[in-house]
Structure 1
Amino acid sequence: MRKLTPTLANQTSTQSPLRKPAAHESAARQVAGSARYTDDIPVPANTAHAAVGLSHCSAGQIERMDLSEVRRAPGVIDVITVADIPGKTDIAPVFEGDPILADQAILFHGQPVFAVLADTPVHARQAATKGKLYITPVAPLLDVADALARHELVRPSHTMQSGDAKRHLSASTHQLEGSLNIGGQEHMYLEGQVALAIPEEEERMLIYSSSQHPSEVQKLVAQVLNISLNKVCVDMRRMGGGFGGKETQAAQWACLAAVLAWRNRCAVKLRLARGDDMQLTGKRHPFKNDYKVGFDNRGQLQASQIVVTGNCGCSPDLSDAIVDRAMFHADNAYYLGQSSVTGHRVRTNTVSNTAFRGFGGPQGMLAAEAIMDGIARRLQFDPLQVRKQNFYSEATGTQTHYGMLVTANRLPDIIEELERSSDYWERRAQLRRYNAHSPVIKKGLALTPVKFGISFTAKFLNQAGALVHVYTDGSIQVNHGGTEMGQGLHTKIAQIAAHEFGVGLEQIDITATRTDKVPNTSPTAASSGTDLNGKAVSNACRKITQRLAHFYAQSLQRADTEVRFADGKVCLDQHQIDFAELVQQAYLARVSLSATGFYKTPKIYYDREQACGRPFFYFAYGAAVSEVSIDTLTGEYTVDQVDIVHDVGHSLNPAIDTGQIEGAFIQGMGWLTTEDLRWDETGRLISMNMATYKIPAIGDTPPRFNTRLYQTPNSEDSIYHSKAVGEPPFMLAISVWCALKDAISSISDYRLDPQLDPPATPEKVLWAVMNIQARTQADADVREPAL
């Protein structure tokens, strides 16, 4: 049978849902409150509830513990410590260092030391407070600089190098150096960490977990219980948000629930209270970035030395790959010249930091944008001129500091379109005139680009599987390895399946992600959910359409290469048949109506020893213009207007893509402006609720917010030549940070570049204003000698 390519024919269908703004598959249920999350699953009658007992110091050795009052507390059924774990006690995702419960050493304030099972959640949480822990404390390591000086690393440092940066730096016409201390970020998903473990017959365990990585939960539960993976099934229908916080750190709570369920032969539910969730789970990594660059009179970079240092917390978690990605993106959109980029991964006595939207990329990009601003102030150029001067191009260079060529660069077109549509240059002139006559309120404007690599940097994760069933009434069930956390993955997958079969969306049902349907799945992360799983689903669908096409063509005694699936029918020349009718006939003729699909991303590799390769399948591009107003007396500010043009390739669903872009921008704006994580001097997190941690609210949304999709088909063979849209737009919010700096710099007539470490809270803005005012006055005093 010759290979059939029905998709190409299907693209002529007027009824295909592909590339149309289909509503999110759960939207109506979410608005009505009927969408079922893990906490909403009906539980068995004998379900008990778990809670954890916490340490109250940040570092030390457990000498002994007295849990007698815990065991005597009302409703308590069982109490466990690390000694009661039947299998492996380290539940680290990659490199060891994450004990399921504290094992002698206390690594951070609030670390779980024991777990308690009781008849109600209230009884469990009350009992967990009654444990007496006898700990010999030691001074915690909390400062990144101290950790680096003491060489406290969770993983070895790594350097990517291109040319001789040191020699070219000293020979450059101008030099610039600086540093940034970048804050972390709380995931603040609407649905907290929750798991339900149900023991079944024959030593099986069913786990419901709010996890971005069900296969990892399956593996760790099996290891903790000391049973084989085929005895554990993990089910995940939807999350109420994840953003990376449930990629690895959902596993601990599922494992604890599973151990208690195994011991007591009853269903066990463990749901963290919001305050505990914020205290016990990792954040976006805080970073310290240092840079030295050399450039010429045009502002062209000639040499760059960049050092990024990630605060990993108490264990490796995913920090090795996160700091790698910060290093990969330390150039953002710019050719660094002769360059070296070094990444350190330091250990501190705080909760182990973890994945967050952008996975280290945003922290790396801030170094590049700080460099562009610094060059512009030094040479008295508009920052956009300097940025455009340094874009990857044939004139500057097209090879990154890790050896990957930048091809099909969309940024010049995107920037040109955005300059025009946002009236950048006219507004720049207006702002300069406004600031010259406004002593208190200053306005700022910035246009910043994004170049973000798409793929997991761990090559083996770039694979996906799918399972597709066609039933005899023509309805279709699809299961794949991706997880739905609100981003619309299931909606796009349904559109792909409907398009492949030429039917309406109403005939497609996407079922819960389950490890007994599609095994060995990768996490839904790295913006690759649709890229990977969409291709796997398409592969499975095409196997079935090829069988159906061959069967139909045979019945007509024709060749099968011209069979089309469109508008609910299957067509060949002047012949056509309803899809459901053909499916019924095929079933009676014993044609298989089920198929698995598989996909692995091509072309990618990275040689870590040589620090060279192609870690990304392609780049997604975008740019944003942000305008702000600051009050120089108080530091308060507003974001007045945002204009975005973002590269989505050939969009599968423009409505969902637009929502992802705008949501990512606001979340990125929160990271850079209001979301201020605070610890006290002992290492205890004190910003652990919504009263002490400020995420953007509706009032923070820019009153003028314009988003345009840049739709040019991906030059690589991604799913229907679309591009990933989950993480890249997060970094568009860097334009807000740069606009705040622009407004502050206007105090010095744009001669001085302010130091503004994110998050740029009003207090920090005010301090930066005062600093620039003082420096400006000092410069004036030098230029105007005393009489």
Structure 2
Amino acid sequence: MTQHTPNLKAEKIVGGVAVDQRHDSAHKHVTGEAIYIDDIPEPAGTLHGAMGLSTVAHGAIRSIDLSAVKTAPGVVAVLTAEDIPGENDISPTGRHDEPILASGKVEFFGQAIFCVIAETREAARRACRLARIVYDEQPAILDVWDLDPAKDRLVTPPLELKRGDAAGTIAAAPHRLKGRMRVGGQDHFYLEGHISVAVPGEDGDVTVHCSTQHPSEVQHMVAHALGQPSHSVTIEVRRMGGGFGGKETQSNQFAALAAVAAKRLGRAVKIRLDRDDDMTMTGKRHDFVVDYEAGFDDEGNILGVDLTYAARCGYSSDLSGPVTDRALFHCDNTYFWPAAHARSAPLYTNTVSNTAFRGFGGPQGMIGAERLIDEVAFAVGKDPLEIRKRNFYGTTARNVTPYHQTVEDNIIHRIVAELEESSDYAKRRREIAAFNAGSRVIKRGIALTPVKFGISFTATHFNQAGALVHVYTDGSVHLNHGGTEMGQGLNVKVAQVVAHEFQIDIGHVKITATTTGKVPNTSATAASSGSDLNGMAAQNAARQIKKRLIDFAADKYSVPHDQVVFLPNRVRIGNQEIPFADLIKQAYFARIQLSAAGFYKTPKIHWNRDEGRGHPFYYFAYGASCSEVSIDTLTGEYVVERADILHDAGRSLNPAIDLGQVEGGFVQGMGWLTTEELWWDEKGRLRTHAPSTYKIPLASDRPRIFNVKLADWPENREPTIHRSKAVGEPPFMLAMSVLHALSDAVASVADHSICPRLDAPATPERVLMAVERLRREAAGA
């Protein structure tokens, strides 16, 4: 061994933790080299599938004639519910209410009734139009505005949270108010639509390349549909072109149909949805109707609240129970309600079954809380920011949530104070008031809103992850984990963790496709937990190998264990240093195991749904945003002039990636609250089913001035992976400041004497109608 003098110069590996590191596929995304499922070369003889969809929202199927479909050019087979060899159900919660193909009845316009398998995708799509189906049409429930949560049908049991005597407190309060708010849904609008390719193998096996956030669930659903054990099904995901929750459960149907067809025909089968079919067939963010009542004092201190969150869930349960639960978990946002009563109402409708979406009900819960704060501010004639700060959670008191979890890590006071100063909030509010006083048509508004978001799956068993790490004899590392990459940078973060543990450059760590054949029984990449769970699992695997290496080196060179130190790309053993790869080769020849399966489960969390109390979140992530807008009071058109954001990512694993998540989350949230409007006609047909009728934010819609910063001082008080915090979902809710800035601008036409009660999405039409309504009310007063 060569002896080295210790290098006193500070050295770093390339791509460790807490440093900027580009997304591992960034260059591939830009150049088009990134391989998505539709780019994988098709096996010889690959067939293609398309679905035949219902043309009524609710009804019994009286007769179905598929003869013309079966004889259409290029058609190889037509599948109906009777052709599913196993279970015709893909309900993720086991309620058995979501068939793969409808049988006997249809419950929303666009529900799949049959699947055509043909030589080409075009042939399959054309053949679908030849079906002759007769329905006994029945009345359809399309909206929840006029439904009664106490009487109308629920798709899953509701949740109720109680702390204190809310009704008594409200009745005795000096002031009371009540109101109702509509919060719209949202389409995921991922760039890559749903797609699955199933390839049959020997011994009844099938491999499915699927664009999914939950490979293990797809594995189990495919196995159930085939009537086979899970070990015969392998799901593989290299990357998705976006997910946002839309590929947590919605991929099940298409993977199952592709697998059933592939097994039946002995040929590979691909199902890739057309954008219109994708938007029609797949679930959205739940739209909500929020009923609120509150009691408060002269200063705007809120004393008690009573809240009902009713959601349009669609025809089946899907994830509506957990989504509406999480809405209640965030009905407080950053505010302490001394007495609180909140209930959910997951309502049945004859629309597509709504599903997970970034924030998972949390945004809808928060926006209800923020409307309540605005109402109180107008009632007592104070700046909404003052009312927000007055009602914040405390640090040693006033810190228990409606679900009885103590908030132990509250930093919202400092976050808001720093943003208030850095954004010049007070000065700009004065300048905006002066501008509005002299401007007849264009009005400006400003708002600063906070975010507190709980991190963990509320279903405790999902808070676990696995990872697999191999070290090869040349010192290169193979990494596989149960998370899925959908553009958010999960893979590079987990690779940074492994590189840091071994103190090797990140270029030596190979990230491989997620597959159920390597890491089993994984949880969905959702709930902002991808880095938390999979990073810890990968660290656990790397540390197992690292411990073996330390034991080996200490024994071989007769030094204490603490004198085996991993340095950048080398290892110091006593007073000697050797390259990392040399130590690995020596360990191999000494028959030291260089592979490990890591595991992690989140500690401390527990939840009793029946009692409505527990500790469902491991920690909270915080943030705040200040937005300024201008509106044209003659047309309702508006512009986001400026947005300032300060967000808490703990000790960020990768500040560059996290900053991108904050920026992207804010813009996506802005779309949800301003331009993205889902609209069903009286027949239950989704009319906003394509880019031509559904408006997501464009680059030109981003704030003209966009100041985004990660707070550089907080570290997670919990021992998460390198004290980082989740950053997938929390930034989405920062966009609430845009909605409230629009509300502030609208309120200026009536001298801020009337709360605009601006519903979401605040489209230009809604803004214009609110302006006209306030002018009429002000004139009438």
SS at match of 2:640: strand
Corresponding residue for residue 8 of structure 1: none
Q: Tell me the CA shift for residue 139 of structure 1.
A: 1.1
Map of 2:45 onto structure 1? 46
RMSD between aligned residues: 1.1
Counterpart in 2 of 1:721?
A: 723
Question: Matches of residues 182-201 of structure 1 in structure 2 within 5 Å?
Answer: 182-201=183-202
Aligned residue type for 2:89: D
| 1:220 partner amino acid | M
Q: 1:422 to 1:756 in 2, by over 3 A?
A: same
Q: How does 1:187-336 map to 2 (within 5 A)?
A: 187-336=188-337
Look up the match of 2:144: 144
Residues 562-711 of structure 1 mapped to structure 2, 5 A cutoff: 562-711=563-712
Q: Say whether the 8 Å CA contact 2:626–2:645 is kept in structure 1.
A: yes
Q: Is the partner of 1:291 in helix, strand or coil?
A: strand
Query: Is 2:59 the partner of 1:57?
Result: no
- Any conservation in 2 of the 1:58–1:109 contact (CA below 8 Å)? yes
> Scaled by the length of structure 2, what TM-score is found?
0.97
Q: Which amino acid aligns with 2:423?
A: S
1:571-594 deviations in whole A, cap 9, x for unaligned? 134221100000000000000000
1:400-419 per-residue CA deviation (whole Å, 9 max, x = no partner) reads 00000111211111111101
Q: Structure 2 vs 1, CA of residues 754 and 105 (structure 1 numbering), >3 Å: closer, same or farther?
A: same
Which residue pairs with 1:785 in the alignment? none
Cα deviations by residue, 1:163-192 (Å, 9 ceiling, x for unpaired): 000001011011111111111000000000
Partner of 1:5: none
Aligned position for 1:444: 445
Structure-1 residue corresponding to 2:115: 115
Deviations 1:550-584 (A, max 9, x none): 11111210121342222100113422110000000
Does the CA contact (< 8 Å) of 1:326 and 1:361 recur in 2?
A: yes
Preserved CA contact (<8 Å) 2:754 2:774: yes
Letter paired with 1:597: G
Deviations 1:200-251 (A, max 9, x none): 0011000000000000110011110011110100000000000000000011
CA distance in 1, matches of 2:66, 2:568: 66
CA contact (8 A) 1:182 1:758 kept: yes
Q: Which residue of 1 aligns with 2:132?
A: 132
Residue in structure 2 matched with residue 734 of structure 1 by the alignment: 736
Q: 1:586 to 1:394 in 2, by over 3 A?
A: closer
Aligned to 1:530: 531
* 8 A contact 1:390–1:396 mirrored in 2: no
Counterpart residue type for residue 122 of structure 2: V
Q: Aligned pair in 2 of structure 1 residues 183, 321: CA closer, same or farther (>3 Å)?
A: same
Structure 1 counterpart of 2:775, which letter? Q
Letter in structure 1 aligned against 2:381:
Q
Separation in 2, partners of 1:146, 1:644: 37
SS of match in other structure, 1:663? helix
Distance 2:245 2:55 in 1: 27
Q: How many Å separate the matches in 1 of 2:50 and 2:34?
A: 26
Of residues 735, 747, 750 in structure 2, which corresponds to 1:748?
750
User: Is the partner of 1:400 in helix, strand or coil?
Assistant: coil
Please report how far the alpha carbon of residue 143 of structure 1 lies from its aligned counterpart in structure 2 after TM superposition.
2.1
What are the ranges of 5 or more consecutive residues in structure 2 without an aligned counterpart?
1-9
Question: Could you tell me which residue of structure 2 aligns to residue 359 of structure 1?
Answer: 360
Distance 2:482 2:143 in 1: 39
Structure 1 position 12, deviation (Å): 8.1
Q: Which residue of 2 aligns with 1:773?
A: 775
Matched residue type, 2:211:
S
Is 1:385 equivalent to 2:383 in the alignment?
Answer: no
SS of equivalent to 1:69: helix
CA deviation after TM superposition for structure 1 residue 148, in Å: 3.1
Structure 1, unmatched stretches of 5+, are: 1-10, 780-787
Amino acid of the structure 2 residue aligned with 1:758: A
Q: Distance in 2 between matches of 1:600 and 1:18?
A: 21
Does the Cα contact within 8 Å between 2:200 and 2:207 map onto a contact in 1?
Answer: yes
In structure 1, give the amino acid aligned to 2:210. Answer: S
Contact preservation (8 Å) 2:333, 2:453:
yes
Aligned residue in 2 for 1:3: none
In structure 1, how many angstroms separate the alpha carbons of the residues matched to 2:638 and 2:662?
23
Distance 2:715 2:571 in 1: 28
Paired amino acid for 1:46 = G
For 2:402 and 2:567, the matched residues in 1 are separated by 47
SS, match of residue 156 in structure 1: coil
SS in 2 for 1:635: coil
Q: 2:7 maps to what in 1?
A: none
Deviating beyond 6 angstroms after TM superposition, the runs of 4 or more aligned structure 1 residues are: none
Check the 8 A contact 1:96/1:316 in 2, yes or no: no
1: CA distance between counterparts of 2:221 and 2:757?
Answer: 44
Aligned equivalent of 1:418: 419
Work out whether residues 480 and 514 of structure 2, in 8 Å CA contact, stay in contact via their aligned partners in 1: yes
- Which residue in the other structure is 2:23 paired with? 24
Deviation string for 1:475-518 (max 9, x for gaps)? 00000000000000001011111000100011001100000100
Aligned to 1:106: 106
Residues 295 and 302 of structure 2 are in contact (CA less than 8 Å); yes or no, is this contact kept in structure 1?
Answer: yes
Residue in 1 that maps onto 2:371: 370
Retained in 2: the 8 A contact 1:147–1:348? Answer: no
For 1:747 and 1:294, the matched residues in 2 are separated by 27
Report the CA distance between 1:615 and its aligned residue.
0.4
Structure 2: distance between partners of 1:389 and 1:650: 29
> C-alpha distance in 2, partners of 1:279/1:756?
28
Contact 2:336 2:398 (C-alpha < 8 Å) held by counterparts: yes
- Asked if structure 2 preserves the Cα contact closer than 8 Å seen for 1:79 and 1:114, the reply is yes
How far apart in 2 are the matches of 1:395 and 1:516? 48
Amino acid at match of 1:713: E
Letter paired with 1:53: G
Once residues 244 and 132 of structure 2 are traced to their aligned partners in structure 1, the CA distance between those partners, rounded to angstroms, is 35
How many percent of aligned residue pairs carry the same amino acid?
A: 51
Shift of 1:610: 1.2
The 2-side partners of 1:16 and 1:748 are apart by 55
Give 3-state SS (helix, strand or coil) of 1:625's partner: strand
Partners of 1:607 and 1:584 lie apart in 2 by 51
Contact 1:147 1:347 in 2 (8 A): no
Q: Secondary structure at the match of 2:117?
A: strand
Q: Report the 3-state secondary structure (helix = DSSP H, G, I; strand = E; otherwise coil) of the residue aligned with 2:157.
A: strand
**2:448–2:624: 8 Å Cα contact kept in structure 1?**
yes
The corresponding residue for 1:7 is none
TM score, norm. by length of structure 1: 0.97
How far does residue 14 in structure 1 lie from its aligned partner after superposition?
Answer: 5.9
In 2, Cα distance between equivalents of 1:564 and 1:148? 66
